[in-house]
Amino acid sequence: MARRDIEFDAEGVTLRGWFYPGQGASGAAPTVVMAHGFSAVKEMYLDSYAEVFSAAGLNALVFDNRNFGASDGEPRQEIDPWAQVRDYRHAITYATTLPEVDGNRIGIWGSSYSGGHVLVVAAIDRRVKAVVSQVPLVSGHDNFRALVRADFIAGFQDGFNADRLARFQGDPPAMVPVVAEDPLAPSALPTPDSWRWFTETHKLRAPSWRNEVTLRSVEMFTEYEPVSYIPYISPTPLLLLPAVNDVLTPTDLAIAAFEKAREPKKLTILPGGHFDAYVKGFEPSSTPARDWFVQHLTR
């Protein structure tokens, strides 16, 4: 069966996506709930992961984050990490109402920013029975300081404060590019591989992606600390997939966070950098995720 379009209510905001039935499944089957990372839309290779999970007999429910892609929500292009965490939970609730879904066998998958979200969701929502976190953001505070030179941080904070005052006075939120060709130019994700992947994937697969987010999204990024939830994921099985040469969500931060997790847990290091998991490193990233869900959701 081919995927179908879905939409569901998230406390007044309609979120939209795809549902992939598990191939060969008879009756209600295990289901993986999935959303993308910072500013990305579902067409940016989430369909590829969903197809792998579906081929293994797992349902996959993929949705666009609020304010992005096919989903509703205002202001457009704003990323509130806690709203996105709640939306994962709304998606789980929606999934449990579908006849194809066994609500007692729900897994969650996230990558990059949503790799952080699934750590939080797995810690606070016991409907989740397995979690895969790929190249995750684990600490907004530490990650921001890994990406931004120390002498630039005060300038960012001045910008945050100026934007806050402007919004108070009735102005629309200030916007900033997600990526820029010059890594020293103002952008939310200031690495050369971010520029390449987003611009190439936008042209190849995702015309709805826009190269802008609210400046407030970057401020909320700096405040977000999924690492503080990691010890509470147990006894839900956790698979963490950092990349060996990740310069966007640094490898050392992810591995240090993994050390805070309790059993059952597994660490698999992916080849390449942050974005290789989606393209030339797709098989090394999708296979262990698939196997983890099959192991923990189908027995």
Q: Do the domain assignments include residue 276?
A: yes
Please state, in angstroms and rounded to a whole number, the distance separating the CA atoms of residues 10 and 289: 27
Tell me the CA distances in angstroms from 219 to 37, 40, 79, 140, one per residue in order. 16, 18, 10, 9
Checking 167-174 for CB contacts under 8 A at 24+ apart, the result is 167/216, 172/75, 173/75, 173/78, 173/214, 173/215, 173/216, 174/214, 174/215, 174/216
Range of the domain at 11: 4-141+225-297
Q: Do the domain assignments include residue 155?
A: no
Q: How crowded is residue 151: how many other Cβ atoms within 10 Å of its Cβ?
A: 7
Please state, in angstroms and rounded to a whole number, the distance separating the CA atoms of residues 28 and 33: 15
Q: Do the domain assignments include residue 29?
A: yes
- What pLDDT was estimated at residue 1? 63
pLDDT in tens, 11-57: 999 999 999 999 998 899 999 999 999 999 999 999 999 999 999 99
Please state, in angstroms and rounded to a whole number, the distance separating the CA atoms of residues 144 and 223: 10
* pTM across the whole model: 0.97
Q: Do the domain assignments include residue 180?
A: no
Quick check: helix, strand or coil at residue 187?
Answer: coil
**Torsions phi, psi for 276 (to 5 deg):** -65, -25
Please state, in angstroms and rounded to a whole number, the distance separating the CA atoms of residues 188 and 38: 9
| CB neighbour list of residue 240: distance below 8 Å, 6 or more residues apart | 133, 136, 254, 257, 258, 261, 265, 266, 267, 268
Instruction: Single out the residue of 149, 14, 161, 159 nearest to residue 74, CA to CA.
Output: 14
Distance of CA 127 to the CA centre of its chain: 19
Q: How far apart are the first and last CA of the chain?
A: 23
Q: Which residue has the tokens 């009756």?
A: 27
Q: Do the domain assignments include residue 198?
A: no
Sign of the CA dihedral 176, 182, 183, 184? negative
Q: Do the domain assignments include residue 256?
A: yes
CATH of residue 87: 3.40.50.1820
Q: How crowded is residue 12: how many other Cβ atoms within 10 Å of its Cβ?
A: 7
Number of domains the chain contains: 1
Give the DSSP H/E element, type plus range, for residue 104. strand 101-111
- Amino acid 21 reads P
- Amino acid 234 reads S
Q: For every one of its 299 residues, what pLDDT tens digit does the chain have, with 9 covering 90 and above?
A: 689 999 999 999 999 999 999 999 889 999 999 999 999 999 999 999 999 999 999 999 999 999 999 999 999 999 999 999 999 999 999 999 999 999 999 999 999 999 999 999 999 999 999 999 999 999 999 999 999 889 989 999 999 999 999 999 999 999 999 999 998 888 999 999 999 999 999 999 999 999 999 999 999 999 999 999 999 999 999 999 999 999 999 999 999 999 999 999 999 999 999 999 999 999 999 999 999 999 999 97
Using only C-alpha atoms, what is the Rg of the chain? 18
Length, in residues, of the chain: 299
Q: Do the domain assignments include residue 41?
A: yes
Q: Do the domain assignments include residue 234?
A: yes
C-beta of residue 220 within 8 angstroms of C-beta of residue 80: yes
